[in-house]
Amino acid sequence: MQGKKIILGVTGSIAAYKSATLVRLLVKAGAEVRVIMTPSAKDFITPLTMSVVSKHPVGCDYFNPADGTWNNHVDLGCWADLLLIAPLSASTLSKMATGNCDNLLMAVYLSARCPVMVAPAMDLDMWKHFTTRQNIDLLVKHGVRVIQPAAGELASGLVGEGRMEEPETIFNTVNSFFVNGLSLSGVKALVSAGPTYEAIDPVRYIGNRSTGKMGFAVAEELAARGAQVVLVTGPTALHTQHPAIKNVTVESAQQMHDACMQHFTHCQLIVMAAAVADYKPEYAAEQKIKKKDAALSVHLTPTIDILAAMGSQKSAGQVLIGFALETEQEKEHALGKLQRKNLDHIVLNSLNDPGAGFGFDTNKVTVFSKDGAVAEFSTRTKKELAVDLVDLISRSNKK
């Protein structure tokens, strides 16, 4: 980060108050930050605040009436190593998609030769709106890096996706961008995520509480570093827009096996984060099972172990990573899986750790490697953990 030149665009969103913290983090790490604010950003945070934290004047208009100078948007666009827009409002997003150059930030965006990264912030329904989706897709198609918004309570009181990522997470993404660049360019990766559903009848299934967040975060991080990723997912509410991620959706363990095996031999990095069912009903009833007074038993048979199948076929150039979710004798069970399934690394989450496991945005894991190394990661967001895991995996890819 030392000496990196960053333009931070701030737009009209309540999340603008977090931009001051983001500037502090970037400046403290040695970056040179110039802030540009759109007219409506000034309704949420003052240029004075941003000027004090960035230690430079803030650009708001083409012309500075105080000293009669003008902000040269072409020079600014050429100066920067990165244009980061955080928060990105729905309005500026739509201007970026159409090239509507009605303020200084848009002029800098259109002149910028450097990579562009955005951290959207908007309300739940605005984020889901088809126009927002189209605009984001267009930006992504043209190489803009999107730091996906987080889910949580929004300023409106609604709860869902749309909240700008925390400044610390945005900072880590920027840092990783400068440190790692496209270090995995040319590498093919396979990631599995989410639960599997095993049908009992056309209506019911056996499933589990996995949301897919960890696997999606790993896939996004691999793609951000230049890897071509196939992401095989069981039923989840998540989606990805990264052009380097091919998302294959499946339902059952058998379908996940078939989809993964189609790609396995072509991939160097394989991260199996899915919570695959270990058992399935022996027969799925063709018709809906009707309620009766008597008890009902469903006979279960084992599913195919995808990770073990991969471990037995793995070639020397492949790095295979499994996950283990344990509730007791965590270390012994994880090490057993590492050896039995012939893995390079196993990522252990313990359900006994607060903030770890299904549904949480955070995770706390220990990674055991086949060379005996043990890496412990304290509680952190799944996106941050994805950066750490991809660092670890990338190192073993080079060996």
Q: What are phi and psi of 177, to 5 degrees?
A: -60, -45
Nearer to ligand CTP, 20 or 253 (CB): 253
Chain contacts with ligand CTP (rule: CB under 6 A):
192, 253, 272, 274, 276, 278, 303, 305-307, 322-325, 337
Q: Which residues of 89-100 are buried (b: 16+ CB within 10 A; e: fewer)?
A: bbbbbebbbeee
189 by Cβ neighbours in 10 Å (0-12 / 13-18 / 19+) ranks as buried
- Report in angstroms how near the CB of residue 192 gets to ligand CTP at its nearest: 6
Q: What are phi and psi of 332, to 5 degrees?
A: -60, -45
Nearer to ligand CTP, 97 or 256 (CB): 256
- Report in angstroms how near the CB of residue 274 gets to ligand CTP at its nearest: 5
- Report in angstroms how near the CB of residue 251 gets to ligand CTP at its nearest: 14
CB 105 within 8 A of CB 85: yes
Nearer to ligand CTP, 54 or 233 (CB): 233
64 a catalytic residue = no
Number of Cβ within 10 Å of residue 2's Cβ equals 8
Give the three-class secondary structure for 97: helix
- Report in angstroms how near the CB of residue 259 gets to ligand CTP at its nearest: 12
- Report in angstroms how near the CB of residue 321 gets to ligand CTP at its nearest: 8
Q: Which stretch of DSSP H or E encloses residue 159?
A: strand 159-163
Q: What are phi and psi of 304, to 5 degrees?
A: -75, 135
DSSP H helical segments within the chain, as ranges? 19-28, 47-54, 73-79, 90-98, 104-111, 124-128, 130-141, 167-180, 213-224, 253-264, 306-313, 330-340, 382-398
The owner of tokens 């499946």 is 250
Catalytic residue among 64, 208, 342, 349: 208
Residues carrying an active site annotation: 208
